[in-house]
Amino acid sequence: MNKGLTGTKESWATDEATRNKMLGNRNRDTKPELRVRSLVHKRGMRYRVNHRPLPRVRRTADLVFRPARVAVFIDGCYWHGCPKHYTEPKTNTEYWREKIDRNKGRDRETDDLLAAEGWTVLRFWEHDDPETVAAAIERSVRLRRKRPQTNLDGSDATTTTSCSLTGGG
């Protein structure tokens, strides 16, 4: 057990400073999210923040446009394994590799669950240009508001989009 760390379970952190730094990371209201939300709001669009698109599923999207059934995720490069910016830490490498792989798997599962319920899923990286992200969100939401929610054969008119506007994922 690491000395000085609170709790009785062995910590994933190599030391107290690392633990405190990781615990201080935000899971909502990050700078990239706030920039995108501000730009989307300026475009006259209204949305829910940090909201569950499917109430029965314990997953939250960064922005949710419920009537249009569009869920937006702005993924952090480290926590979601951005192919352009993610670098493995030098300590506890195996732990973090598994953690990031689980996060990526959960992201794919979330996309699949939402798509199965007729939602459009938009994923962006934190490094994507906020103006471009806001424009893509507006385009998608307005398109979904115009078209019927089902195809002619009665199946869901669903799209799942994983976006990286800078070519990194």
Question: So what's the pLDDT on residue 88?
Answer: 87
Question: So what's the pLDDT on residue 92?
Answer: 86
Structural domain including 130 reads 30-59+77-147+156-162
Nearest to 67 by CA among 149, 150, 153: 149
CA 7 to the chain's CA centroid: 29
Nearest to 131 by CA among 72, 44, 43, 64: 43
In a domain, 25, yes or no: no
In a domain, 22, yes or no: no
Residues of the chain where predicted confidence (pLDDT) is lower than 50? 1-8, 151-152, 166-169
In a domain, 35, yes or no: yes
Tens of pLDDT, residue by residue over 4-44, are: 444 445 655 566 765 555 555 556 779 999 999 999 999 99
CATH of the domain at 99: 3.40.960.10
- pTM for the full model? 0.74
In a domain, 122, yes or no: yes
In a domain, 12, yes or no: no
Question: So what's the pLDDT on residue 87?
Answer: 84
Number of domains in the chain: 1
